[in-house]
Amino acid sequence: MEIVILLVVIAVVVIGALGGLVVGSRRRKQPPPPPSATPDITAPPAEPHVGDEAETPREEPRRTIEEVDLPDTSGAVAVEERPAAPEIEIPEPTAGRLVRLRARLSRSQNALGKGLLTLLSREHLDEDTWEEIEETLLTADVGVQPTQELVERLREHVKVLGTRTPEELRGLLRAELLTLIGPDMDRTVKTEPEASKPGIVMVVGVNGTGKTTTTGKLARVLVADGRTVVLGAADTFRAAAADQLQTWGERVGAYTVRGPEAGDPASVAFDAVKEGKEMGSDVVLIDTAGRLHTKTGLMDELGKVKRVVEKHAPLDEILLVLDATTGQNGLVQARVFAEVVDITGIVLTKLDGTAKGGIVIAVQRELGVPVKLVGLGEGPDDLAPFEPEAFVDALIGD
């Protein structure tokens, strides 16, 4: 009797363990580690631990022989059931995203575009009205200098026009806003790989501005364009930051290089580029931490990350992520970061949540660097290449 009980117990344990293994292997989503993975790079998600879901299969009702459907052999060749491959998402194409997401700019549209058009349509454009126009621009964060330039030019043109039709006003405003934004600036994100090295992009900015989200979205953009991507989780301050980035990567099959928690961000960045090179990847995207409590600390850290990465090759792009809802505060941050590293492009996030679309103009003026990407939501494909014409059209409406 004891022997029978013992056998039953053993059988249950074995079945449970087997079930656990199957579940475990299905759970692995991270793409296979690169051939050269070095020990200091944290491996993809761990194997299931003892006890992990080992219980589940035991509770599943077991099918009896009578219930098993026999394969239908009358039709085509029976297809063998294979374990599901990790689900890799196909991101949306990037062309025309800003046009598609233009409704997200409705707050800026109402406050800036419509506001200005209404004011300009007044029969008498007296001093008070011009002051209101100026206020509208300043409230939308266009910035003092650009506002004065715009108002001056509008005044001149309106004088010449005499009577103004709504179409003329719209055309005028469109042209002048475009001039301020700079339609001819090169806004391509430099990610072209060269013979011996991937394109290298570093993402910097204050915590909470959307760096990790932007890095993840950018990886999707690149994958959608047919590139292979390696992510470097150089925000080693919190383990959750690396997890967040890795999750973004896994969704599109991009490998994430991580380091130990509180480890050296520069060495993670270095390893990421090394992996990118060895895997023959097209682009390496490096996410960084953005603690700003001391400027010197930040300067030291980012400066070091940059120097260490440049032992491999120069960085192609340093993107500064700014939260558009923070207004003038964002400009202060921009100044600090520009002192530390050579910013080559700006990403303005959360433009969907603000009426202050004029920040695009102000921040470009401040840094003399173009806005290259804009964030228009929390969704995975809510990052758009910045197109001045589509942006202005969205602001002033059709």
Ligand X SMILES: Nc1nc2c(ncn2[C@@H]2O[C@H](COP(=O)(O)OP(=O)(O)O)[C@@H](O)[C@H]2O)c(=O)[nH]1
Considering only 57, 353, 380, 385, the residue that binds ligand X (CB under 6 A) is: 353
**Piece of the chain touching ligand X by CB under 6 A; list 13-21, 158-166, 167-175, 202-210:** 202-210
Considering only 97, 102, 170, 211, the residue that binds ligand X (CB under 6 A) is: 211
What residues from 280 to 309 belong to the interface with ligand X (CB under 6 A)?
Answer: 290
Considering only 109, 147, 209, 212, the residue that binds Mg ion (CB under 5 A) is: 212
Please report, in range form, the residues annotated as the binding site for GTP.
Answer: 205-212, 287-291, 349-352
Q: By CB under 6 A, is residue 236 in contact with ligand X?
A: no
Q: Minimal distance in Å, beta carbon 239 to Mg ion? A: 12
Q: Minimal distance in Å, beta carbon 382 to ligand X? A: 6
- Which lies closer to ligand X via its Cβ, residue 150 or residue 395? 395
Q: By CB under 6 A, is residue 220 in contact with ligand X?
A: no
Q: By CB under 6 A, is residue 376 in contact with ligand X?
A: yes
Three-class SS of 60-89: CCCCCHHHCCCCCCCCCCCCCCCCCCCCCC
* Radius of gyration over every alpha carbon of the chain, rounded to an integer in angstroms: 28
**Piece of the chain touching ligand X by CB under 6 A; list 34-42, 125-133, 137-145, 350-358:** 350-358
**Segments of the chain assigned E as strands:** 199-204, 229-234, 255-257, 283-288, 317-323, 345-349, 371-375, 383-385
State the DSSP H helix or E strand holding residue 137, giving kind and residue range, or none if neither: helix 127-139
Strand 283-288 to strand 345-349: parallel, antiparallel, or no bridges (unpaired)?
A: unpaired
Q: By CB under 6 A, is residue 377 in contact with ligand X?
A: yes
Give the nearest residue (CB) to Mg ion.
Answer: 212
**Piece of the chain touching Mg ion by CB under 5 A; list 1-9, 118-126, 152-160, 206-214:** 206-214
**Piece of the chain touching ligand X by CB under 6 A; list 2-10, 155-163, 277-285, 347-355:** 347-355
Q: Minimal distance in Å, beta carbon 299 to Mg ion? A: 19
Residue 107: strand, helix, or coil? helix
**Encoding tokens for residue 58?**
């035991």
For residue 325, give the nearest of 275, 376, 285 by alpha carbon: 376
Q: By CB under 6 A, is residue 251 in contact with ligand X?
A: no
Handedness of CA 388, 219, 97, 224 (dihedral sign): positive
**Segments of 268-382 assigned E as strands:** 283-288, 317-323, 345-349, 371-375
Considering only 251, 274, 312, 350, the residue that binds ligand X (CB under 6 A) is: 350
- Which lies closer to Mg ion via its Cβ, residue 211 or residue 372? 211
DSSP assignments along 258-292, one per residue: ---TT--HHHHHHHHHHHHHHHT-SEEEEEE----
What residues from 102 to 131 belong to the interface with Mg ion (CB under 5 A)?
Answer: none
Determine the Cα–Cα distance for residues 264 and 236; give it in Å rounded to an integer.
7
Determine the Cα–Cα distance for residues 185 and 369; give it in Å rounded to an integer.
9
Considering only 326, 349, 354, 364, the residue that binds ligand X (CB under 6 A) is: 349
- The binding track of 146-175 with respect to Mg ion, each residue x by CB under 5 A or -, is ------------------------------
What residues from 214 to 243 belong to the interface with Mg ion (CB under 5 A)?
Answer: 241
Q: Are 109 and 395 in contact (CB under 8 A)?
A: yes
Considering only 141, 352, 381, 393, the residue that binds ligand X (CB under 6 A) is: 352
Neighbours of 15 (CB within 10 A): 14
State the DSSP H helix or E strand holding residue 314, giving kind and residue range, or none if neither: none
Q: Minimal distance in Å, beta carbon 240 to Mg ion? A: 9
Q: Using CB under 6 A as the criterion, which residues of the chain lie in contact with ligand X when the complex forms?
A: 205, 207-213, 290, 349-350, 352-353, 375-378, 382
